[in-house]
Structure 1
Amino acid sequence: MGPEKGQSNEESVASSIRSESLNKDRNVKEDPVLVCFDVDGTILDKNGNFIDREGLKNLIDNLLEHGHKVAITTLSTIYDELLLKQIGLTEDQIKGIPIMAYSDPKTTGGGNKKRHIQEAMQSTNVKDVKRIILVDDDGNQIIRAKFIGATGVQAGYEGFSWSKVQKAVDKLNQK
């Protein structure tokens, strides 16, 4: 299907995306929130121990139960589904959680997570970057996420609680 008369290709694509975001009653369907979790310094401390594993498991259970999406977005290459099993997630939950675990060796510090977020959006079929939350201990990653239109939740500091992530999800759902 090409652009309608007087419409550019870009306008046609935007119109198509808007149409896809309507439900059968022609009301706007809200994309679920996609929460992208960093690992080192966010899920695991500097010694490789979980930071409040039970709290994280409860948060992920709640997010998935309410139709939201979860992804792992890390610049480290050592994490896979074993991490999700260690959190205590079920096989069904794990199947729906994409893991973007790679870095760019040409970039100091491994790069930023823009590509990780884009791939997580594709994998989970979340189309609106404004429905994305990046949870990360690296303030630069939080700034970069905000720059592309996502929400950033700083983690990895003393006093951090997974409830801050739930509050960010609740805030997005109020808009």
Structure 2
Amino acid sequence: AAPIVVGHARLSRVLNQPQSLLVETVVVARALRGRGFGRRLMEGLEVFARARGFRKLHLTTHDQLHFYTHLGYQLGEPVQGLVFTSRQLPATLLNFFPMVLSPRLPWKAPNLTVQAAPRGSKGPPLPPPPPLPECLTTSPPAPSGLPPKSLLETQYQNMRGCPIFWMEKDI
């Protein structure tokens, strides 16, 4: 059986904060949500970052406040991530994720080099990207300059007007 991708996460360095990383994305396959994979993915990111000398993770969310709070994240201030441009994922990255033992699914390490699809490839078409998430219904954002009063208020919004919550955690 082919390996199954259960999730994805992306880290980038933070401008002017050499001890920090920005968690740019965290995604778990829809059919596999609610089974602890998101928690394991986040724990793996923390182990990976700590092993390389980083001491803080930053992230944004619009709808997973309680998930990240449960993992120890707190409301924070915006940071600017620096773009990572390598086309090859270091194999050592996978060594820092918690091992999940499953007697049903034997697993073989994949080739981690990103390769472009050959021109004229007649394989099945790629599925369309998932729809953008809808905005949360929350109270109006706090007036500029005032900190949010609770986890349900923020002064930050994305380009669609959805509230964005900046969170951080000392690792």
TM-score of the alignment, normalized to the shorter chain, above 0.5: no
Query: Highest relative contact order (Cα 8 Å, sep 6+), 1 or 2?
Result: 2
Q: Which structure has the larger Rg over C-alpha atoms?
A: 2
- Decide which structure has greater helix share: 1
Q: Which has the higher strand share?
A: 2
TM-score computed with the length of structure 1 as normaliser = 0.30
